[in-house]
Amino acid sequence: MGKLSSILLGTVSGVAVALFLTSEKGKHVTSQAQDFIEDLREDPEYAKEQALEKLTEVKEQTRDFVLKTKEQVESGEITLDSVLEKSKSLAQQATEASKETLNSLKEQLEEKVVVEDPEDGQEIIIDTQED
């Protein structure tokens, strides 16, 4: 496999992971990971067995995905243009998610009132939220 094919395959894999993590199923998997961490704290031996089973599944799924992607690259089904278009779409999604997070933080900050004392230049911050 040439350098371009390797780069293309790596890019496609990265795009696929990013798509997965932003999907509903990806969010579900993230939630399951958090549940697993809690199980690990409660019963480490059981958690170890579960992790080994999941790692075997992930290994098989990853192998299948890589083989399928390799076939798609070799057949021309996946091209540099299609990867770039998908990357552009993911970048737009990430930008939107960042804007939402920024707006949320901005709203939280606007709930605080800042008053400047002009005589000595000190700021007085009044938190209007109840704890």
3-state secondary structure string across 83-100: HHHHHHHHHHHHHHHHHH
- The pLDDT assigned to 72 comes to 85
The helix (run of H) or strand (run of E) holding residue 8 is: helix 3-22
Structural domain includes residue 65: yes
Same domain, residue pair 67 and 90: no
Same domain, residue pair 98 and 50: no
Structural domain includes residue 125: no
Which residues 6+ apart lie within 8 Å of 47 measured at CB?
Answer: 36, 39, 40
Q: What is the DSSP code (8-state) at residue 120?
A: T
Per-residue pLDDT reduced to its tens digit, 93-117: 888 888 888 887 777 666 654 545 5
DSSP-assigned letters across all residues of 37-92: HHHHHH-HHHHHHHHHHHHHHHHHHHHHHHHHHHHHHHHTSS-HHHHHHHHHHHHH
- The pLDDT assigned to 12 comes to 74
Same domain, residue pair 67 and 96: no
Structural domain includes residue 5: no
Same domain, residue pair 67 and 95: no
Structural domain includes residue 92: yes
- The pLDDT assigned to 108 comes to 67
State the Cα–Cα distance between residues 118 and 67, nearest whole angstrom. 68
Structural domain includes residue 9: no
Number of domains in the chain: 2
Per-residue confidence in pLDDT tens, the chain, 131 aa: 567 667 777 777 777 777 777 777 777 777 877 787 777 778 888 877 877 888 899 889 888 888 888 888 888 888 878 878 888 888 888 888 888 888 877 776 666 545 455 565 565 555 555 55
Same domain, residue pair 27 and 49: yes
Same domain, residue pair 107 and 58: no
Instruction: Give the domain range for residue 29.
Output: 18-77
